[in-house]
Amino acid sequence: MSPADSSSNCDNLEQRCVKYFRRVLKAEFFSGYPIYFVLYQLDKI
C-alpha cells in the first residue's frame, strides 16, 4: 500500500464521517431533542 493510497483513504473516511455527523446532527435538531444538549447536560453533572 503506497502512502498516497492511505492518505486518500483517510480523506474519504473523514468526508464520510463529516457527512454522517452532519446528518445525525440535522436529524437530532429537527427531532427537537438535540443529542448535544443532552451530552452537555450530562457533562455538567
Per-residue pLDDT tens for 16-37?
A: 988 988 888 777 666 666 667 7
Provide the residue range defining the domain that includes 19: 3-44
pLDDT of residue 4: 62
Domain count, the chain: 1
Rounded Cα–Cα distance for residues 34 and 43 (Å): 14
pLDDT: which is higher, 13 or 36: 13
Mean pLDDT to the nearest integer, 1-6: 62
pTM recorded for the entire structure: 0.40
Residues sharing a CB contact under 8 Å with residue 35, sequence separation 6 or more, in sequence order: 24, 25, 28
pLDDT of residue 37: 75
Rounded Cα–Cα distance for residues 12 and 23 (Å): 16
| Closest listed residue to residue 24, CA positions, set 13, 15, 36, 14 | 36
